[in-house]
Amino acid sequence: MYRLTVKRRFSAAHHLRDYEGKCAQLHGHNYNVEITVQGDKLDDAGMLMDFGKLKQICDQVLDRYDHVYLNELPEFAQANATSENLAATIFERIAKLLSDFDVRLFEVKLYETEDSATIYRES
């Protein structure tokens, strides 16, 4: 089993509904994301997947969230734009784009701050 990870970044604003605390107010984060794929077979060049192609796929998804107010996006009209919900949404979108490749998305690790992260994996 091989695993390959790329790191990406984006910035976004949000607020939490039905929450008592500072995060109920409009605020922003500089998110860091680690996206990991896994697979059993290497290609003829000896790679699980080209890092550049994986970065391109991740950027295609993450560009939707960069420098936006997350609460205004349809996927967060009902659900709070928490790190947990955002990581799951990113996972689902990247997984769909990886369907043509011989890899499976293993996890998305989303850092809301330097010290706080959430991990989403499908079981």
Mean pLDDT by 10 residues, the chain (123 residues): 97 96 96 97 94 97 98 96 98 96 97 97 87
Exposed, middle or buried: residue 116 (CB in 10 Å: 0-12, 13-18, 19+)? Answer: exposed
Check residue 112 and give its pLDDT.
Answer: 96
Alpha helices, DSSP H, located in the chain: 51-62, 83-97
Cα 54 to chain centroid, rounded? 12
Domains and CATH numbers, the chain: 2-120 (3.30.479.10)
Residue 85, pLDDT score: 98
Verdict on whether the full-model pTM lies above 0.75: yes
Q: Which amino acid is at 98?
A: L
Q: Give me the catalytic one of 15, 23, 75, 92.
A: 23
Active site residue 67: yes
Half-sphere exposure of 41 (CA within 13 A, CB side): 5
Q: What is the pLDDT of residue 26?
A: 96
pLDDT of residue 123: 76
The per-residue pLDDT for 61 is 98
Catalytic residue (choose from 27, 67, 72, 122): 67
Q: What is the pLDDT of residue 102?
A: 93
Catalytic residue among 14, 29, 58, 112: 112
| Whether 112 is catalytic | yes
CA 56 to each of CA 32, 51, 112: distance values in angstroms, whole numbers, following the listed order: 16, 9, 22
Catalytic residue check, 23: yes
